[in-house]
């Protein structure tokens, strides 16, 4: 019996070594094209590294209590790593720290939290994204005119940085741009539509709309289409969708400030894999945004950035 037990031990150890590591990837939401692109990048990394990807997030970006529940559930399952985009920078802090205290490496991506207990933080340079958006708006409007800003949500690290960057450039370089509306749409297309409809009614001669997210831009376009103002009011947004790309081709959307969500999801997972393999990934990674206009849509590289092959990895 003793000899059998000794022989069985290496077999058990080998089986244990053969079990796939599990990495939880928790977005702010699973509903929008940005997050589906993040998922594709994460799953691509999972296939490359031989790890299992557990993808789970709230239906709405504003439902951060649900996101906290998901983090705690992953901690309880003893996953081997967690990558998370914090829906609210303060609300997610305790959950992220609980994961760290449990010995689970945590990578924060896209949007940060008020904690230092993480392995790596990977995001777009969101302040730069906002600055690029403001410069493009200033160029489109000749440096003057009434502009509406459709904000995302209080406490959202990434989008607050975009909005801050827009205001910095507006104040420093385009004082003739008059921001007449600043309201939160909370990731809700209907709310964004209502904000823009009210702005058009309250501010005659509205010349531009800046949106810090794709859902806000989609709602803004619904309002402009309904009022017969699509193409007349300049629209600059961060992030894209198939509809927004088509509207750009029709000269109704005038600039997209693009991120690389596929690359972000891929890097987040690979950072955890690096840690599991005994290496230390960079503490901070900032990914460059870029402005895309109608003229760029014939570039295959641009289209791969805007429309990654999501179905290939699902």
Q: Which residues pair with 121 in a beta bridge?
A: 108, 284
The pTM of the full predicted model, rounded to 2 decimals, is 0.87
- Return the structure tokens found at 271: 């950072």
Using alpha carbons, list the distances in angstroms from residue 65 to 36, 62, 188.
Answer: 21, 9, 18
Task: Give the residue, 6 or 91, on which the prediction is more confident.
Answer: 91
What is residue 5's predicted lDDT score, i.e. its pLDDT?
Answer: 34
What is residue 259's predicted lDDT score, i.e. its pLDDT?
Answer: 96
Using alpha carbons, list the distances in angstroms from residue 180 to 199, 208, 292.
Answer: 8, 10, 26
Q: Is 6 a residue whose pLDDT tops 70?
A: no
CA distance 277 to 46: 14
Report residue 71: phi and psi, to 5°: -60, -50
Q: Find all residues with CB under 8 Å of 224, minimum gap 6, and list them.
A: 196, 200, 209, 230, 232, 233, 235, 252
Task: Encode pLDDT of 33-63 as tens digits.
Answer: 899 999 999 999 999 999 999 999 999 988 9
Q: Is 145 a residue whose pLDDT tops 60?
A: yes
In the chain, the domains with their CATH numbers are 20-124+260-287 (3.40.50.2300), 126-258 (3.40.50.2300)
Q: Is 122 a residue whose pLDDT tops 90?
A: yes
CA distance 208 to 146: 7
CA distance 44 to 77: 23
Report residue 161: phi and psi, to 5°: -65, -40
CA distance 140 to 142: 6
Average of per-residue pLDDT across 8-21:
50
Tokens 């209907």, residue located? 190
Least confident of 7-16, 43-52, 302-311: 7-16
Q: Is 176 a residue whose pLDDT tops 70?
A: yes
Cα 76 from chain centroid (whole Å): 26
- Please answer whether residues 257 and 234 qualify as being in contact, where contact means their C-beta atoms are separated by less than 8 angstroms: no
Task: Encode pLDDT of 200-213 as tens digits.
Answer: 999 999 999 999 99
Q: Is 309 a residue whose pLDDT tops 80?
A: yes
Q: Is 8 a residue whose pLDDT tops 50?
A: no
Average of per-residue pLDDT across 75-95:
97
What is residue 18's predicted lDDT score, i.e. its pLDDT?
Answer: 65
């Amino acid at each position: 019996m003793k000899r059998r037990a000794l022989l069985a031990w290496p077999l058990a150890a080998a089986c244990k070594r053969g079990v796939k590591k599990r990495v939880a990837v928790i977005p702010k939401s699973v509903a929008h094209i940005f997050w589906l692109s993040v998922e594709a990048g994460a799953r691509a990394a999972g296939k490359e590294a031989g790890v299992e990807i557990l993808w789970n997030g709230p239906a709405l970006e504003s439902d951060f209590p649900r996101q906290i529940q998901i983090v705690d559930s992953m901690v309880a399952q003893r996953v081997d790593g967690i990558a998370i985009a914090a829906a609210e920078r303060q609300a997610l802090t305790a959950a992220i720290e609980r994961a760290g205290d449990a010995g689970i490496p945590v990578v924060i991506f896209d949007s940060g939290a008020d904690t230092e207990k993480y392995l790596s933080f990977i995001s777009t340079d969101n302040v730069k994204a906002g600055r690029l958006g403001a410069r493009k708006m200033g160029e489109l409007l000749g440096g003057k005119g009434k502009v509406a800003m459709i904000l995302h949500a209080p406490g959202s690290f990434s989008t607050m940085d975009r909005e801050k960057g827009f205001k910095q450039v507006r104040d420093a370089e385009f004082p003739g741009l008059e921001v007449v509306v600043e309201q939160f749409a909370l990731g809700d297309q209907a709310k964004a539509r209502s904000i823009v409809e009210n702005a058009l009614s309250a501010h005659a001669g509205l010349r531009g709309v800046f949106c810090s997210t794709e859902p806000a831009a989609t709602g803004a376009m619904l309002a402009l289409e309904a009022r017969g103002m699509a193409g007349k009011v300049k629209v600059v947004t961060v992030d894209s969708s198939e509809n927004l790309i088509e509207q750009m081709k029709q000269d109704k959307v005038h600039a997209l400030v693009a991120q690389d969500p596929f690359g972000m999801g891929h890097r987040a997972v690979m950072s955890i894999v690096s840690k599991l393999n005994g290496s230390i990934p960079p503490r901070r990674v900032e990914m460059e945004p870029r402005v895309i206009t109608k003229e760029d849509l014939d570039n295959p590289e641009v289209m791969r950035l805007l429309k990654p092959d999501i179905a290939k990895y699902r």
